[in-house]
Structures are given as C-alpha cells and as structure tokens.
C-alpha cells in the first residue's frame, strides 16, 4: 500500500516549480476539519476535492524531510482535484526574513498589511504537482488553493519566485462573485509574476522590471521610467505585451519594435553589460526603450 508520504513525494512534475507562501498572524493550530471546511466552502470547484493531512507530531523524520535547513514543519497536506495536486507544508514558525524582504517590503500593499505580514507567527508553503502541465493553468490552480487556505486568517499571499505579495483578503470572494473568473482575469504581473521598481539609477527615473516570467515561457521585461508617476502606466504596458505574447505564441526578441498604439511604440534590446547586475534573470530579459 502506498503511504501518504510516498504519494506526497510523488506529486512532482519536471520543469519549473510553482509555489506560493501564506503567512498567518497567529500560531498554527492544526485542525483538519476546519481546513477542510474552509476549502470546500470557498468555491464549488472544491466540492469533490480530496484533502489529506499528516501531522509531523511523533514523526521526526517528517519534520526535516521537506526543509532540512529551515524551521521544522508541523504537518503535510495534499489537496487534489481535477488536474491539480497541491502539496502543503505547514510551519508553526515565521518564514526566514529573505522572502519577507524581497516580497513584502516592495509590495504595493497598505502599510499596516505589510507590518502585519512581516510580524507573522506561522506560514504555509504550497507547491503545485499533478497531471496539469500548462504553466498558466498550474498557477491558476495553485492560486485558487492558496486563496482558499488564506481564508483561515492569512495576512498575505507571497510568490517568492516573482518577488511579489498581495493582501490575502484581495482573493476572499464577495457574495455572487465567481472567484475563479476573478483569478483568471487578474493582471499577469499581479501575482503570477512580479513587477518591481528598483532602487537603481536616478531617483526621479527609476528602473522597473519583472520577475518570474520565464516559468511561463515568457521573457522578463525592464525599462527606465520617465518619472516616479509612470509606474502604473508601465504596469499596464508590460501586462499588455506579456498577455499578447502568451496568448498568440508570438516571437519576441531584441531588435523588434512593439506598438501599443500609433503614439506609443518601443524598441526592444538586450541588457547592456552595465545593466547585468540589476537585470539578472534565469530566462530572457528584454529592455524596452521608447521608439523615436
């Protein structure tokens, strides 16, 4: 008979790892029934989902099986439905400060939410597995699972790979709202990938770049803004370009020109050597410059 931990370990896929992190203000109180209820009442898609848990209490080999150099975990979970299997690792301790610094500090969240997220007491790590192979669908399923688990009182949802974070309550559905439609309609750079204003360059002309687009087969984008107030416009431009490339499977490389309108066009180029340190990426980086 296959054990829970064998099934937990087997729910992996080749290719990029898709993960989210949830932070909670209180110590983690393991209550499988409460977790199951929160998930099943979040959206009808979870009506037939299978949610399993294995407490690490009295099983020291499990407490270090997932994170041997980090805090000990208190429980493992598997949430399965459709083509998705979500591996859940629960910790009754704060995350290392690194993800907080890279995700929460620069996030476009209210100051009080940032402070509460930084002061969290416990956290969950979520990893996507299962037969679904389309990167966008995998991330959609992972986000749906993370949003459901966040209703247990999470402060924020982090995407460490993308260096971004959002308030958990942003994905708590309102009456008559289909949260799946909401998640599918989110801007790509809201949570699936990251949008960061760097501290490089003159303060009045900051560099803005994306993180984590390569996991979806897309290039990361960067440009030097004309001013601090242009960040929201750059966010819109980047999302429009990435959505077009993703949905049309178009080629995208240095030397091309991209036109968002007759008046707004960009020349594409590779990073220059002096830009390599702050425009590093595991995939392809494309720099946008306004075309004359």
Q: DSSP H helical segments within the chain, as ranges?
A: 4-10, 32-40, 60-63, 97-99, 111-118, 135-150, 179-184, 231-248
Pairing of strands 207-211, 194-197: antiparallel
Q: How is the chain split into domains, by residue range? A: 12-184, 194-290
Residues, the chain, total?
Answer: 292
Per DSSP, the residues of 52-120 read EEEE-TT-HHHHTTS-TTSPPEEEEEEEEETTEEEEEEEESSPPPHHHIIIIITTSSS-HHHHHHHHT-
pLDDT in tens, the chain (292 residues): 677 877 887 766 667 789 999 999 999 877 888 889 999 999 999 988 999 988 877 666 665 555 556 677 888 999 999 889 999 999 999 998 999 999 999 888 999 999 999 999 999 999 998 888 899 999 999 999 999 999 999 999 999 999 999 999 999 998 888 999 999 999 999 999 999 988 777 777 889 999 999 999 999 999 999 887 888 999 999 999 999 999 988 778 888 999 888 889 999 999 999 998 899 998 899 999 998 7
Contact between residue 157 and residue 166 where contact means Cβ atoms under 8 Å apart: yes
- How far is Cα 185 from Cα 147, in angstroms, rounded to an integer? 15
């Amino acid at each position: 008979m296959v054990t829970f931990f064998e099934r937990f370990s087997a729910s992996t896929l080749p290719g990029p790892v898709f993960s989210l992190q949830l932070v909670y203000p209180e110590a983690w109180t393991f209550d499988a029934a409460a977790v199951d209820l929160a998930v099943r009442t979040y959206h009808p898609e979870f009506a037939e989902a299978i949610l399993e848990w294995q407490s690490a209490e009295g099983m020291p080999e499990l407490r270090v099986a997932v994170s041997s150099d980090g805090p000990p975990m208190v429980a493992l979970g598997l949430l399965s439905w459709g083509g998705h299997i979500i591996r859940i690792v629960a910790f009754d301790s704060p995350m290392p400060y690194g993800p907080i610094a890279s995700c929460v500090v620069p996030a476009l969240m209210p100051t009080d939410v940032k402070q509460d997220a930084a002061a969290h007491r416990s956290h969950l790590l979520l990893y996507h597995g299962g037969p679904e192979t389309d990167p966008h669908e995998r991330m959609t399923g992972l986000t749906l699972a993370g949003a459901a688990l966040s209703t247990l009182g999470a402060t924020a949802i982090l995407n460490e790979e993308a260096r971004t974070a959002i308030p958990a309550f942003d994905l708590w559905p309102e009456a008559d709202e289909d949260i799946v439609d909401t998640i599918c309609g989110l801007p790509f750079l809201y949570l699936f990938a990251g949008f960061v204003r760097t501290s490089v360059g003159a303060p009045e002309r900051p560099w803005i770049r994306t993180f984590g687009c390569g996991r979806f087969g897309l290039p990361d984008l960067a440009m030097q803004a004309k001013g601090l107030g242009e960040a929201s416009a750059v966010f819109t431009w980047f999302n429009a370009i990435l959505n077009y490339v993703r949905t049309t499977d178009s080629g995208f490389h240095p030397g091309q020109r991209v036109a968002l309108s007759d008046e707004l066009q960009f020349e594409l180029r590779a990073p220059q050597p002096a830009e390599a340190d702050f425009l590093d990426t595991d995939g392809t980086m494309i720099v946008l410059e306004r075309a004359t």
